[in-house]
Structure 1
Amino acid sequence: MKPRFHCSTTLAGQTLLVLPPGAARHVQVLRMQPGDALTLFDGCGGEYAATIERMGRSDVTVQLGAHSSIEREAARPVHVAVGMPANERMDWLVEKATELGVASIQPLMTAHGVLRLAGERADKKRTHWQAIAIAACEQCGRNRVPLVHPVRAFAAWIDSPPIDDAERFVLSLAEGAHQIRSLRDDPASASLRGACVLSGPEGGLSAVEEQDAIARGFAPLTLGPRVLRAETAALAALALLAST
């Protein structure tokens, strides 16, 4: 696969383009040269073949070719709302969720969550996670970058409509929760436009949070008898729901 780079500017075919600073630095780090081929995408859908025309000290000019409408999105759009795991596990979750085709990610502060973010620190973390999603798209071939939403407290988020026209699920260990495998055998599931899955942090959602979600239309869903780590549970649910 040719090297792929995301451009923050809107692209147009058959034009000369000076790459944005981030993409230009990436090209220079790879020691690419005039005449080398690459692929560019702007996140609006599809991708462009391109050829390096000029390498400057800090700038790179490319010739854009034709637009290709190819997409590599999941069969079903799945939005993940997750109680943020601590340390670098949220970074890993964002990267792998992007590779698996997540439509958007909503970081949440929950009762059992260790990570607490607000103000400038929350904004910096969101920018950091969005950059991880972009890099994952460059690596895996996606041409649409999933949106990482601003960090929100669970209570504020659950009172607003999570995702329009999407079936809602909350991961649960409670008896009576639906088996996620049963959704794959439900013919009605294939007609759904999308899904929103809510997953807790280390320690899971509190009993009150889970009940609040159920009261707002989130169906309790189980991944099976094993207790998974917070980031593993969210990714397993995403992988299964996105392929139904």
Structure 2
Amino acid sequence: MRNPRIFENQPLSTGEAVTLSDDAFGHAIRVLRLTSGDAITLFNGQLINNSYGEFQAVLTDVGKKSANAMIGEFTEVDNESPLNIHLGQGISRGERMDFTLQKSVELGVNTITPLFTDRCGVKLKGERLQKKCDQWQKIVISACEQSGRCTIPIVKPAISLEQWLMQSTSALKLNLHPKAEQSIMALPLSHNRIRLLIGPEGGLSDEEIAQSKKHEFNDVLLGPRVLRTETAALTAITALQCRLGDIK
């Protein structure tokens, strides 16, 4: 069995022992049913000597409620794209949003902001919204464990589309629009930061599209067909990586 990658949100150092967090314990012991002596790979998303990477480790003292890990060799991992993508994603229903976040992280997105839009069918606020955001961040962490990433993309607090459009940024601003005249594959090759807007189910309203243009977002096209919101986001990120990022 290949030793699993597990995110451990605490300082890690070669030669030291750590007690696994509740989330790491649940994943390694309750889900994967690992025992003392089993090898695992730990990462914490923090810079180690100015590099991101992962540690080999061995489980010790595995009990019913806790387990330790002896930290071994550190290996630098350099698999981040040169393209920084901030995804503004209109919140979609049910598992569609979860799927979008999971796969966008696998494809290399760096930051995700869930957006409330005119056609957003999800009504969340207060404690329910905070729980949902926490769930989304856990999905992002799981996607990093699976995909081999050692940096953890941030799921920012959900805000209105208007608030997001008004944020100051030096990134190239793109709005995926099925009636745009410019192809996403025709973008100049000089950009390394992208702010990508994807509407929810049903897309953005005409007013929201006009508002995005007011804030200097460029309409771009993927092709002649209308895509579902989750398909649109992942296809656009893939196209951007092919055009400007690390998929060559």
Q: Give the TM-score of the pair, scaled to structure 1.
A: 0.92
CA distance in structure 1 between the aligned counterparts of 2:53 and 2:63, rounded to whole angstroms: 28
Q: Aligned match of 1:171 in 170, 176, 179?
A: 176
How far apart are residue 172 of structure 1 and its match? 1.0
Q: Aligned pair count? A: 236
Describe the SS at the equivalent of 2:24. helix
Corresponding residue for 2:160? Answer: 153
Corresponding residue for 1:12? Answer: 13
CA distance in structure 2 between the aligned counterparts of 1:201 and 1:172, rounded to whole angstroms: 12
Which residue type is aligned with residue 182 of structure 1? A
Q: Report the RMSD for the aligned CA atoms in angstroms.
A: 1.4
Ranges in structure 1 where 5+ consecutive residues have no aligned partner: none
CA distance in structure 1 between the aligned counterparts of 2:150 and 2:34, rounded to whole angstroms: 22
Percentage of identical aligned residues: 36
Corresponding residue for 2:236? Answer: 237
How far apart are residue 175 of structure 1 and its match? 4.4
Q: Aligned match of 2:87 in 68, 73, 80?
A: 80
Q: Aligned match of 1:127 in 134, 142, 146?
A: 134
Which residue type is aligned with residue 224 of structure 1? G
Deviations 1:178-233 (A, max 9, x none): 101212xx3xx2x3231110010111111111111112121111111000001110
How far apart are residue 139 of structure 1 and its match? 1.2
Q: Aligned match of 1:181 in 185, 198, 209?
A: 185
How far apart are residue 13 of structure 1 and its match? 2.1
CA distance in structure 2 between the aligned counterparts of 1:160 and 1:78, rounded to whole angstroms: 15
Describe the SS at the equivalent of 1:55. coil
CA distance in structure 1 between the aligned counterparts of 2:110 and 2:134, rounded to whole angstroms: 17
Corresponding residue for 2:219? Answer: 220
Whether contact under 8 Å (1:75, 1:242) holds in the other structure is no
Describe the SS at the equivalent of 1:195. strand
Instruction: Give matches, 1:85-100, under 5 Å.
Output: 85-100=92-107
Q: Give the TM-score of the pair, scaled to structure 2.
A: 0.90
Describe the SS at the equivalent of 1:234. helix
Q: Which range moved further: 228-237 or 1-10?
A: 1-10
Instruction: Give matches, 1:187-226, under 5 Å.
Output: 189=189, 191-226=190-225
Runs of 4+ off more than 3 Å: none
CA distance in structure 1 between the aligned counterparts of 2:232 and 2:101, rounded to whole angstroms: 13
Describe the SS at the equivalent of 1:202. coil
Corresponding residue for 1:37? Answer: 39
Whether contact under 8 Å (1:165, 1:193) holds in the other structure is no
How far apart are residue 121 of structure 1 and its match? 1.3
Which residue type is aligned with residue 69 of structure 1? E
Corresponding residue for 2:49? Answer: none
Q: Which range moved further: 128-137 or 1-10?
A: 1-10
Which residue type is aligned with residue 223 of structure 1? L
Whether contact under 8 Å (1:25, 1:58) holds in the other structure is no
Corresponding residue for 1:23? Answer: 24
CA distance in structure 1 between the aligned counterparts of 2:95 and 2:34, rounded to whole angstroms: 31
Q: Aligned match of 1:46 in 40, 49, 53?
A: 53
CA distance in structure 1 between the aligned counterparts of 2:80 and 2:185, rounded to whole angstroms: 21
Deviations 1:38-84 (A, max 9, x none): 10011122111111122122111111012211132224121110111
